[in-house]
């Protein structure tokens, strides 16, 4: 998560509860059914950890360019 925060240049918040996929589906169904509101759900979501970007902007740009190049190369390989 720290690498993501550094690469993107934005904070990354990790929820306190790890299994948020199934919980998210249940929350959406409950919200659609009128059992609760988006504000109710937001109040339940607690941040377990927050990662702040720590890299210098020049280093971040260099790493992000390398990341983009690696993804581009992988996409070229997959086309073969």
For 14-56, the DSSP string reads EESSS-HHHHHHHHHHHHHTTSS-HHHHHHH--EEEEE---S-
Closest by CA position to 45, among listed 66, 18, 72: 18
Residue 12, SS3 per DSSP: strand
User: How many folded domains does the chain comprise?
Assistant: 1
Contact criterion met (CB below 8 Å) for 12 and 49: no
pTM summary value: 0.65
pLDDT along the chain (80 residues), means of 10: 94 87 85 89 86 95 94 88
| Residues spanned by the domain of 18 | 2-79
CA 25 – CA 64 distance, rounded (Å) = 32
């Amino acid at each position: 998560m720290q690498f993501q925060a550094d690469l993107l240049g934005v904070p990354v918040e990790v929820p306190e509860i790890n299994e948020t996929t199934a919980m998210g589906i249940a929350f959406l169904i409950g919200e659609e059914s009128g059992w609760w509101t988006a504000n109710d759900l937001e109040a339940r979501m607690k941040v377990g950890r927050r990662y702040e970007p720590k890299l210098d902007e020049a280093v971040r740009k260099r790493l992000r360019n390398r990341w983009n190049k690696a993804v581009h190369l992988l996409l070229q390989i997959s086309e073969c």
